[in-house]
Amino acid sequence: MISNEIQRFYDPTFTVTEEYKESLPDLQNGPASLIEGANVPIQQVGISNFKLPLKFRRREGEPITLEASVDGYVSLEMDKKGINMSRIMRTFYKFQDKVFHLDRLEDILKAYKEDLDSQESFLRISFNYPMLMDSLRSGMKGYQYYKVQLEGRLDNYNQFQKYMHLDFEYSSACPCSYELSEHARETREVAAIPHSQRSVANVTVALKDEFFVEDLVQICRNALKTETQVMVKREDEQAFAEMNGAYQKFVEDAARLLYDELDSYNSIRDFVVRCVHMESLHSHDAVSRICKGLPNGLR
């Protein structure tokens, strides 16, 4: 019986029986008449940024456990009010003890489609991946952390697409500014320092074969050469200055260098790259965006 007097009281001993659970309102599984707005399908609905520790596969050695942030979504058909939202997280937790890599996402995406009775599913796992990096000349080492995302999609034909995103930080020394500085020194004996800046390449690759974070890092290093350093003594700083002298680049050069390198890898089906040079010359950024852009690919 419902009393008219509602009490402000939390009972820590209250236990839920099956019968009580059955009596709970279940709005998200209610009739289409409960839908607000247009009764149309929703492409993605789910949870963003739930966190847990996950074991990630490395190219060499034991897997590494890292804090991961997960976005999980499914599609929702018309006539359905909502999804069983907690299943996005509960289904993911069934895989929490597995070692994570891109192909593992396909298993979870299939489980999403089954557990949430959906046509399509989508997953993105974000984490910071540490790699030991050698100093240029001093023989020291330090941890470089890379912002990485593994992404998977399963469409209504069960076709699995997998992607990796990496933010790669590098230094860009302006070739024009270098020539202008040399000109000042040679013609007027005036000291001048060309501008250079910390820059970032946001790289997304669509993959067809096995692929590791280490592979994408290596591709970026091969293309751009001037990755920002971790442990730096004077001999390393001088080496870095020489390296930037050898590998000067406009933002256009950075994009094309990455294109060349990414295009030479068989396991990469398609890619898109956005380079941002946070100019010390300007108060604004210089930006380039380049893609292989296959039909139905990344653009």
Which residues form the interface with ligand GTP (CB under 6 A)? Answer: 26, 28, 82-87
Least distance to ligand GTP, CB of residue 24, Å: 7
Q: Closer to ligand GTP at the Cβ: 84 or 138?
A: 84
Nearest approach in angstroms of CB 50 to ligand GTP is 13
**Shortest separation between residue 54's beta carbon and ligand GTP, angstroms:** 22
Strand partners, 152: 123, 162
Residue where the block lists tokens 């974000």: 126
Nearest to 250 by CA among 196, 169, 192: 196
Task: Compare residues 69 and 84 and give the one whose CB is closer to ligand GTP.
Answer: 84
Residue 152 token pair: 């998977």
In the complex with ligand GTP, the residue whose CB is nearer, 88 or 174, is 88
Q: Are 217 and 164 in contact (CB under 8 A)?
A: no
Nearer to ligand GTP, 45 or 278 (CB): 45
Q: Tell me how far, at minimum, the Cβ of 27 lies from ligand GTP, in Å.
A: 6
Residue 29 beta carbon to ligand GTP: minimum distance, rounded to whole angstroms: 7
Contacts of 184 (CB under 8 A, 6+ apart): 190, 191, 192
Instruction: Please tell me the distance from the alpha carbon of residue 248 to that of residue 224, in angstroms, as a whole number.
Output: 9
Of 86 and 159, CB closest to ligand GTP: 86
SS percent in the chain: helix, strand, coil, step 5: 30, 35, 40
